[in-house]
Amino acid sequence: MTVPRALRWLALALLLLPGVARAQPLPLRSPREPLIEVAVAGVGADVVVNRDGLRGRGAALCLVDTGADGSLETLRDADGASRIRAVWDAALPPRGAPTGAAIEAELGGAFFGRAEVDDAPNDAHGHGTAMAAIALGDGAGIDAAIGPTAGVAPAASLLVARAYDAEAGGFEDEAVVRAVRFCRLAAEADPELDPGRLVVLLSLGSHDGAHDGRGAFERAILRAAGAAPVVVAAGNDGGRVVHASGRALGPTPEEVVVQIPRPAIDDARFVVTVRLTRRDPDARFTIVDPSGARSPALDERSRWAAELPGARVTIAPQEGEAQTLRLTFTPGPDGLSGGAYGLVFEGASTFDVWLAETRLGPTFLRPELGGRHAQEREAIRIPATAPEVITVGASVARAAVTTGGGERTQDATGAGAATFSSVGPTPAGVPKPDLVAPGGWVLVPLSTGAREGDASNLVGGRADALRAEDGRVAIRGTSVSAALVAGALLLATERDPTRLSRARELLVASADGDGWTPETGWGQLDVPTLLERWGGAGGPSRAAAASRAYAPSDGTLWITARAPGATLSVEHGRERWTAPILAGAGQLAIPLGPRTVGDTLALEVLADGAPVATVEVPVVLERGADVSVGRGGCAVGAARAECPLGPVGLLLLAGLATRRPRRRRG
């Protein structure tokens, strides 16, 4: 259901009335996308099943999503009653019903209580219905092949926060934060729910923001959630370069290429965010469009709007985030050109560039960043970048599926992650993802509100082509993985709700990997081991890792570890840093400061004074440069080649700093 703009403005006006509690407005961002890939084929997926008689009784999942179709049998109990306890719709005006008066007064929007949930708008997109079925659907909710209990926690309750803006094609930050606040308020107001057994699921995200995990959006979500764990999808940008990072060392320009396919729609646009830290007051950057036309010189304070031959470009500082600009490219008089747009940096500076939003219509190629500063990793989406949330990537559940559209396959990376799953760490170095769970292919029921021919819904309007023989549709994405992890937590909290505040650490300590990697985090979700750890049995294996090599411009290095004990220590020479170990896991950011490029730092990681591991970290000039430093041989021109540096090596790096990278043209 698309809400008329007039009603949306009415809802906003009601929020501004005296007596309506409200926080400081968040900066305007691109809508956060529901993180799932629309599948074109599928027969099923592995899901976490309940082996110990736990069904999530007494626990509640709060789904911040596109809604949920409560008419489906999978979301009803054995007596036919809906398992949805309440629905809140961010886009509708307050209804004035007595049961939701307090929530509507604080948050705006429309509240539907237990007796009214069948009157709430249906899920026209289908994403939220799919996530609910995966996390706690019963009966025929997902895959009959795994037994009668199809969802992970089929006895848990459901709260639904409908925060999706169909007109914008995503989730606005303000709506998401109010939705998370609804989760707590609804759990506290329902006498049959325990707020201490609440899990929040956010299968959404985008690249619009600074990616440091400390932005206004991430902080607001954590404040709104309180003690409830927040499970977030990592993103579906595996194999696509959406981030570039580097430094300009002098007068020779350094370039990041933004490769845009030819748009297929008239109102196309794309958004790029740039964080620029100038070491020289004269450091600047310019925009070069596919025709070669250049913008004026710009810096992190610039406000500019003008037409280049290829596009109209609007530039303004990113609200609430220092040294960050938002660049919006829209059609000029002759439309929006496809091809290679260049961001050329001159003068001593460091820079980060993100491809934050694209709306191009159906294109054969995907938009991405290029040039020697492009990062193949560091693609975790916001808000999964926050250190405190549970960030979930995807593994492969089924490699091949068959539907009405034929057979399709899903590949895994060498590390075992699905090829579409975003690879970490975050650009700030935070070790994400925390773990992975099966993310494709999975069969789910399609919301009855999802219309055939609506290209914006879960199945791209092609349900028949994506439908399996039993009527369900095949999907894949880190959204699926996050829903599985949320369902596992609902099971665990039935065993002991007092451990829910340590959910992230217990998931890390129980994942099946031998150590942390940027592709899979600490490994695959392991529900039996999670339940053991949750009950206090066993202990985690001893392992530690650095999230990446160290560049002096980073300032800090993140170390993640799991081990029994109370205190995590990292030592290097006479330097020592500590952090608490919680439920078998710990992590900390070490302020290393200036270090010599070419060195390898041997960091001793200890738990309560006992050795855990020695982590060797190479010191590199910059992340993603053509030459990185470590043990082994030396190669020039291949990203992340390894070579030890002496005086000759330093001269080599100086020469590379003056090399003009090749531009790709479309």
- Above 70 in pLDDT, residue 38? no
Residue 120: pLDDT band with limits 50, 70, 90? very high
Residue among 345, 396, 336 nearest 367 (CA): 336
- pLDDT-above-90 percentage for the chain: 60
State the span(s) of the chain assigned CATH 2.60.40.3770.
Answer: 541-617
More confident residue, 422 or 145: 422
Q: Which CATH number fits domain 541-617: 1.10.10.10, 2.60.40.3770, 1.20.140.10, 3.40.50.1370?
A: 2.60.40.3770
- Above 50 in pLDDT, residue 17? no
pLDDT (0 to 100) of residue 541: 87
Residue among 45, 281, 243 nearest 152 (CA): 45
Q: How far apart are the first and last CA of the chain?
A: 38
Helices (H), 156-294: 173-189, 216-225
Q: Which of 240-254, 579-593, 616-630 shows the lowest mean pLDDT across its residues?
A: 616-630
pLDDT (0 to 100) of residue 30: 65
Kindly report whether the peptide bond that precedes residue 317 is cis, defined as omega within 30 degrees of 0: no
Concatenate the DSSP letters of all residues of 297-310 into one string.
Answer: PB-TT--EEEEETT
- Above 50 in pLDDT, residue 143? no
Residue 167: pLDDT band with limits 50, 70, 90? confident
Please name the helix (run of DSSP H) or strand (run of DSSP E) that holds residue 198, with its range, or none. Answer: strand 198-202
Q: Which CATH number fits domain 5-238+382-510: 3.40.1280.10, 3.40.50.2000, 3.40.50.200, 2.60.40.10?
A: 3.40.50.200
Residue 150: pLDDT band with limits 50, 70, 90? low
pLDDT (0 to 100) of residue 528: 85
Q: Which CATH number fits domain 243-375: 3.90.180.10, 3.40.50.970, 2.60.120.1290, 1.10.150.170?
A: 2.60.120.1290
Other beta carbons within 10 Å of 173? 27
What pLDDT digit, counting tens, does each position of 331-381 carry?
Answer: 999 999 999 999 999 999 999 999 999 999 989 899 999 999 998 889 999
The pLDDT of 169-179, averaged and rounded, is 94
Average pLDDT, the chain: 83
Q: Bridge partners of 158?
A: 61, 84
* Alpha-carbon span 525 to 152, nearest angstrom: 12
Q: Decide if 327 contacts 315 (C-beta within 8 A).
A: yes
What pLDDT digit, counting tens, does each position of 267-317 carry?
Answer: 999 999 999 999 899 999 999 999 999 999 999 999 999 999 999 999 999
What pLDDT digit, counting tens, does each position of 626-660 carry?
Answer: 322 222 222 222 222 222 333 333 332 333 232 22
Please name the helix (run of DSSP H) or strand (run of DSSP E) that holds residue 460, with its range, or none. Answer: none
Residue 538: pLDDT band with limits 50, 70, 90? confident
What pLDDT digit, counting tens, does each position of 74-107 carry?
Answer: 898 878 889 999 999 999 999 998 889 999 999 9
Q: Decide if 486 contacts 137 (C-beta within 8 A).
A: no
State the span(s) of the chain assigned CATH 3.40.50.200.
Answer: 5-238+382-510
The pLDDT of 552-566, averaged and rounded, is 93
Beta-carbon contacts of residue 204 (< 8 Å; ≥ 6 apart): 32, 33, 34, 35, 64, 65, 170, 171, 176, 233, 479
Q: Decide if 227 contacts 196 (C-beta within 8 A).
A: yes
State the span(s) of the chain assigned CATH 2.60.120.1290.
Answer: 243-375
What pLDDT digit, counting tens, does each position of 453-507 carry?
Answer: 888 888 888 888 877 777 888 888 999 999 999 998 998 898 899 999 999 999 9
Q: What is the pTM of this model?
A: 0.86
pLDDT (0 to 100) of residue 23: 54
Residue 417 is classified by DSSP as: B
Q: Decide if 666 contacts 259 (C-beta within 8 A).
A: yes
pLDDT (0 to 100) of residue 527: 86
Q: Decide if 458 contacts 38 (C-beta within 8 A).
A: yes
Please name the helix (run of DSSP H) or strand (run of DSSP E) that holds residue 162, with its range, or none. Answer: strand 157-162
What pLDDT digit, counting tens, does each position of 215-270 carry?
Answer: 889 999 999 999 999 999 999 999 889 999 998 987 789 999 999 999 999 999 99
